[in-house]
């Protein structure tokens, strides 16, 4: 097995692209590179499976020997049994080789699928995530890949056994008696008819069931994230009831699927049993007429029941196959998604100074027709601190996301040092950029790892400098292991303000040219905020700083204040200028007191 890498992930994604919407073709493309291992597996399977075909022949031979009473009967019986014993014992090593060959491939494909999904998740645009619940994606990575693995393994265990079983049974029978063979062949159309009748219904029910499972996964994630809010509002019962309704829906859909499958299973069982009884009557009649030996009745009966069993197995596999193919489609939905941030073939941005220009930007979110920004223009000089203010929903966060390159304007340009962001490799640009988001996101690791996330080779000196600047020194010194104390999940052992300061430290330690602070100091008490403000002022010196802030203190320190509203820039100027102007900003300030 190989670890997945870029080339392998690309190959997997390509299989889904070329197989577009055709899951069987997609599967075939995924297995394309493993033909020799798979052929080897089929070969060893045929060998290891041979006892099941040899047993009926040996049985018929022995019965025929006994009933005809030939002189060397005892010796012949012994030979027959010895031959059978040899193939039986060989089954163990042969089965090992067969499984090893196919399982290695199937596990590799499973690993490749998850690898490709993970890589794709890292490429999808931020707006994709704003419309997709994480629970749904989790369900695809875990459940759907598992279904594909089950399907692939079943192809090599059951389907192979069924196909070779059918092939050998038909071959032996055709060699022994054409008449009986013709009788056998009649069973095939019956099986095909059954499959055709039920296939669409099972597929449709599978699709509905899979979507309900995804929905549940998404809702469970949401419920867990909401638990503190739910408890605080004493809404536990309501949430539980809501979840139970969803669980009930899944159960209902699952039950419907079970019932269709079982209906299908029992009808096919009855039909095949009837065929089997008919076969017994038919071969008995032929033996009675002297056309075949008495031992051959058991031979045909065994082969026929094997054929019937194989077809029944195949039919029973249809739900699994259909589930697996549905999962291939579901994985394809993500892997084929076009809404990616494609940085390939785009040149890296030259070293950034920090000049930022919004040039006649127009931006509207996906399905809404009304643009959030219309003909918005603003020029920010390198090293300048600019604060965006405006009513809630006026588009401040949207502007910031345009500057980060998370969103792209439908009209106009966003340029950094004169380079249009649409034409440069955004990862190269973001090396010069730090973002402190509204919600500080910490991961489970040490404080040191959290602060230095995304920065390489940070010296202890530089690290302590930002720690002191963000007022974290005392906090860290009080922790049991200092900088190497582990942060529990989502940073629950830190206060809201402390988390925010860690996030600010993370932004500063990268020594960025452009800093984006999205209401970054909102979770701080007044005293800490003041300290941070002073520190930020020193630390942001010489760096372009974009701030979304409501508080007066933040706005005061900015070189310029941009008042956003009605889709454009209402006013722009220093605090004093805007207060003197007595316009929109003045009114906002007097309202805030």
Query: Residue 349 gets which letter from DSSP?
Result: P
Q: Does 392 bind ligand ADP (CB under 6 A)?
A: yes
**Residue nearer to ligand ADP on the CB measure, 201 or 408:** 408
Residue 33 C-beta: closest distance to ligand ADP, Å: 40
CB of 409 to ligand ADP, least distance (A): 13
Among 393, 418, 445, 454, interactor with ligand ADP by CB under 6 A: 393
Q: Minimum CB separation from ligand ADP for residue 582, in Å?
A: 23
Per-residue interface string for the shown chain with ligand ADP, residues 94-133, x marking contact by CB under 6 A: ------------------------------------x---
At its nearest, how many Å lie between ligand ADP and the CB of residue 356?
17
CB of 424 to ligand ADP, least distance (A): 23
Helices (H), 446-583: 447-451, 460-469, 473-478, 496-509, 526-539, 552-557, 575-581
The least distance separating ligand ADP from the CB of residue 217, rounded to whole angstroms, comes to 22
Beta carbon nearer to ligand ADP, 30 or 402? 402
Whole-number minimum distance, CB 574 to ligand ADP, in Å?
A: 21
Least distance (Å) between residue 397 CB and ligand ADP:
3
Element (H, E) at 545: strand 544-548
CB of 415 vs ligand ADP, minimal distance in Å = 20
Q: Which residues contact 278 (CB under 8 A, 6 or more apart)?
A: 183
| 399 versus 442: smaller Cβ distance to ligand ADP | 399
Q: Which of 216/398 has CB closer to ligand ADP?
A: 398
Q: Which is nearer to ligand ADP, 290 or 366 (CB)?
A: 366
Cross-strand pairs, 387: 547, 561
Q: How far is CA 414 from CA 99, 292, 399, 423, 450, in A?
A: 56, 87, 10, 10, 30
Burial class (CB in 10 A: 0-12, 13-18, 19+), 409: buried
Q: Which is nearer to ligand ADP, 467 or 548 (CB)?
A: 548
Tell which positions 395-424 bind ligand ADP, by CB under 6 A.
395-398
Measured CA distances, 429 to 21, 142, 204, 408, 540 (Å): 36, 33, 46, 15, 18
Residue placing its CB nearer to ligand ADP in the complex, 261 or 394: 394
| Full DSSP string of 398-465 | HHHHHHHTSS--SEEEEEETTEEGGGS-HHHHHTTEEEE-SS----SSBHHHHHSTT--S--HHHHHH
469, 412 Cβ separation under 8 angstroms: no
Q: Exposure of 53 by Cβ count < 10 A (0-12 exposed, 13-18 middle, 19+ buried)?
A: buried
Of 55 and 572, which has the nearer Cβ to ligand ADP? 572
Residue closer to ligand ADP, measured from CB, 469 or 516: 516
Spatial separation of the C-alpha atoms in residues 541 and 511, rounded to whole Å: 11
Beta-carbon contacts of residue 526 (< 8 Å; ≥ 6 apart)? none
On whether the CB atoms of residues 435 and 514 are closer than 8 A, the answer is no
Q: Rounded to an integer, what is the distance from CA 24 to the centroid of its chain?
A: 19
Tell me the window of 18-26, 53-61, 195-203, 393-401 that interacts with ligand ADP (CB under 6 A): 393-401
* Least distance from ligand ADP to the Cβ atom of residue 407, Å: 9
Residue 67's nearest CA partner among 377, 303, 305, 294 is 294
Site string for ligand ADP, 362-391 (x = CB under 6 A): ---x--x---x-----------------x-
Q: Which CB sits closer to ligand ADP, 396 or 419?
A: 396
Residue 440 contacts residue 499 (beta carbons within 8 Å): yes
Instruction: Return the bridge partners of 340, or none.
Output: 124
Strand 544-548 and strand 385-389: the pairing is parallel
Cα separation, 500 vs 553, whole angstroms: 17
Across the strands, what pairs with 515? 434, 545
Tokens representing residue 338 in the block: 């076009």
Per the CB < 8 A criterion, the answer to whether 17 and 338 are in contact is no
In whole angstroms, the minimum distance from the beta carbon of 502 to ligand ADP comes to 23
Dihedral sign, Cα of residue 452, residue 510, residue 398, residue 579:
positive
Minimum distance, C-beta of residue 367 to ligand ADP, in the bound complex (Å): 8
Nearer to ligand ADP, 140 or 396 (CB): 396
Least distance from ligand ADP to the Cβ atom of residue 398, Å: 3
Q: Which is nearer to ligand ADP, 71 or 366 (CB)?
A: 366
Binding-site size, ligand ADP (CB under 6 A): 12
Q: Site mask, ligand ADP, residues 153-192, x = CB under 6 A?
A: ----------------------------------------
- Closest CB to ligand ADP among 398 and 440? 398
Q: Which is nearer to ligand ADP, 57 or 380 (CB)?
A: 380
CB of 126 to ligand ADP, least distance (A): 9
| Residue 13: other Cβ atoms inside 10 A | 20
Which stretches of the chain bind ligand ADP, using CB under 6 A? 130, 365, 368, 372, 390, 392-398
């Amino acid at each position: 097995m190989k670890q997945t890498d870029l080339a392998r992930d690309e190959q997997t994604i390509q299989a889904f692209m070329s197989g577009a919407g055709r899951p069987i073709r997609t599967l075939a493309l995924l297995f394309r590179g493993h033909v020799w291992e798979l052929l080897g597996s089929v070969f060893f399977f045929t060998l290891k499976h041979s006892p099941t075909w040899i047993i009926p022949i040996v049985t018929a031979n022995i019965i025929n020997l006994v009933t005809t009473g030939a002189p060397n009967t005892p010796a012949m019986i012994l030979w027959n049994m010895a031959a059978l014993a040899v193939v039986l014992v060989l089954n163990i090593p042969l089965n090992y080789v067969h499984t090893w060959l196919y399982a290695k491939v199937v596990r590799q494909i499973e690993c490749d699928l998850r690898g490709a999904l993970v890589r794709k998740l890292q490429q999808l645009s931020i707006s994709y995530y704003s419309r997709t619940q994480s629970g749904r994606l989790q369900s695809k990575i875990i459940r759907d890949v598992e279904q594909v693995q089950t399907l692939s393994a079943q192809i090599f265990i059951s389907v192979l056994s069924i196909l070779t079983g059918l092939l050998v049974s038909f071959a032996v029978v055709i060699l022994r008696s054409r008449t009986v063979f013709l009788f056998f062949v009649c069973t095939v159309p019956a099986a095909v008819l059954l499959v055709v009748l039920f296939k669409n219904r099972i597929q449709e029910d599978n699709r509905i069931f899979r979507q309900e499972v995804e929905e549940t996964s998404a809702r469970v994630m949401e419920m867990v994230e909401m638990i503190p809010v739910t408890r605080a509002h004493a809404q536990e019962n309501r949430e539980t009831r809501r979840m139970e309704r969803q669980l009930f829906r899944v159960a209902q859909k699952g039950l419907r699927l079970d019932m269709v499958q079982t209906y299908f299973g029992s009808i096919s069982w009855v039909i095949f049993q009837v065929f089997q009884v008919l076969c017994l009557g038919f071969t008995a009649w032929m033996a009675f007429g002297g056309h075949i030996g008495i031992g051959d009745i058991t031979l045909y009966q065994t082969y026929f029941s094997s054929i019937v069993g194989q077809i029944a197995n195949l039919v029973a596999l249809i739900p699994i196959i259909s589930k697996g193919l549905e999962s291939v489609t579901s994985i394809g939905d993500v892997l084929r998604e076009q809404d990616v941030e494609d940085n390939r073939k785009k040149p890296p941005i030259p070293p950034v100074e920090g000049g930022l220009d919004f040039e006649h930007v127009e931006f509207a979110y996906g399905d809404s027709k009304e643009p959030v920004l219309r003909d918005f223009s603003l020029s920010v000089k390198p090293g300048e601190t600019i604060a965006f203010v405006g009513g809630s929903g006026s588009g401040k966060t949207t502007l910031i996301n345009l500057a980060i390159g998370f969103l792209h304007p439908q009209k106009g340009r966003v340029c950094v040092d004169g380079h249009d962001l649409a034409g440069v490799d955004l990862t190269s640009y973001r090396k010069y950029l730090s973002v402190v988001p509204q919600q500080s996101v910490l991961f489970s690791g040490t404080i040191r790892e959290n602060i230095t996330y995304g920065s390489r080779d940070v010296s202890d000196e530089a690290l302590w400098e930002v720690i002191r600047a963000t007022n974290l020194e005392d906090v860290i010194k009080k922790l049991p292991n200092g900088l190497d104390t582990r942060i529990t999940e989502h940073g629950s052992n830190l206060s809201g303000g402390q988390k925010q300061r860690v996030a600010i430290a993370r932004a500063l330690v990268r020594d960025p040219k452009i800093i984006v602070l999205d209401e970054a100091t909102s979770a701080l008490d007044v005293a800490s905020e003041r300290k941070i403000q002073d520190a930020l002022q020193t630390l942001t010196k010489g760096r372009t700083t974009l701030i979304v802030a409501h508080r007066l203190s933040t706005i005061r320190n900015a070189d310029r204040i941009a008042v956003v509203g009605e889709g454009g820039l209402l006013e722009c100027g220093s605090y004093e200028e805007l207060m003197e102007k007595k316009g929109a900003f003045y009114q906002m300030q007097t309202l805030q007191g």
